[in-house]
Structure 1
Amino acid sequence: MFHYTTESNQAIEDTIKRLENTLKDEGFGVLWQFDIQEKLQDKGVDFEVPYRVLEVCNPHEAKRVLTKDKLAGYFLPCKIVVYDDNGKTKIGMPKPTVLIEMLDDESVKNLAKDIEKRLINCIDNV
């Protein structure tokens, strides 16, 4: 499966706040938060589902990955989504290990495994 997704028993806003705190513990920060529902509605498109995309980055890890293979930048920063799914808050991400497979570079694959494990831990601790 290309993604990791789980449920949070909290509202979207609370889930995002807790996620930001768990990410900090692992040296990651939220660079940008995109509210898809708001943006689509601003453009006149009726979209009633709360859906946020967070771009997260650990600058030291980004440097390590890009030093090994600059093409890895196509997958950076990492994305985590938080959204409503029929009244339940879902939180998930595309797996870095799956994305990085496209590069066929073993040294980068090992870094992706570590990053993926840490991000899943952050999500699970929300």
Structure 2
Amino acid sequence: MAYHISKTVEKQDFDQLKEKVVEALKTEGFGVLTEIDIKATMKKKLDKDYRPFVILGACNPVFADKVLSVDPHMSALLPCNVSLRELESGKIEISAIEPITAMAGVGNVDIKPLATAVSEKLAKVVGMVE
């Protein structure tokens, strides 16, 4: 099973697409807690050039609460990361963590339905963005 939910979209303004992803996340009940600019970070820390690439740390508080109520150690797997990165072709890949795969190793049967619900929401987010 894949550990991510991804799709590639045609070349467009990166920042505008990022805003579309943020809006799609809001539609599914997620907020963005963190944003990591990989391009800027790698340039600053390693003097290495990257194409535009960001990681959004998204959280759906309702599901985070449910998961943490079942197992507080699940905090190590939160938030749900959604990334956008420009490919060599100029197209942009949108990728989200696949919660079912990420949480499968936990072995707690009470987590699986929650992971499935979050997976469905993240798949909708990725699917919404064009």
Would you say same fold, with TM above 0.5? Answer: yes
Runs (4+) of structure 1 exceeding 4 A deviation are: none
Q: CA RMSD in A?
A: 1.1
Structure 1 letter corresponding to 2:19: K
Q: Which residue does 1:3 correspond to in 2?
A: 4
Count of residues in Structure 1 that have an aligned counterpart in Structure 2: 126
What percent of counterpart residues are identical? 27
**CA-to-aligned-CA distance 1:72-105 (integer Å, 9 cap, x gap):** 1111000001001111100002210001001101
Deviations 1:13-60 (A, max 9, x none): 121101111111111011111101101112242223211000000111
The TM-score normalised by the length of structure 1 is 0.94
Structure 2: runs of 5+ lacking an equivalent: none
Contact persistence 1:36–1:53 (CA under 8 A) = yes
Matched residues in 2 for 1:56 and 1:44: separation? 26
CA distance in 2, matches of 1:94, 1:25: 18
Which letter maps to 1:79?
Answer: N
2:88 aligned with 1:71: no
**What secondary structure does 1:106 align onto?**
coil
Partner of 2:110, secondary structure, is helix
Partner of 1:58: 60
**SS state at 2:113 partner:** helix
Please say if 1:94 is aligned against 2:67: no
Q: Provide TM-score, normalisation by structure 2.
A: 0.91
1:105 and 2:108 are equivalent in the alignment: yes
18, 36, 41: which one aligns with 1:34: 36
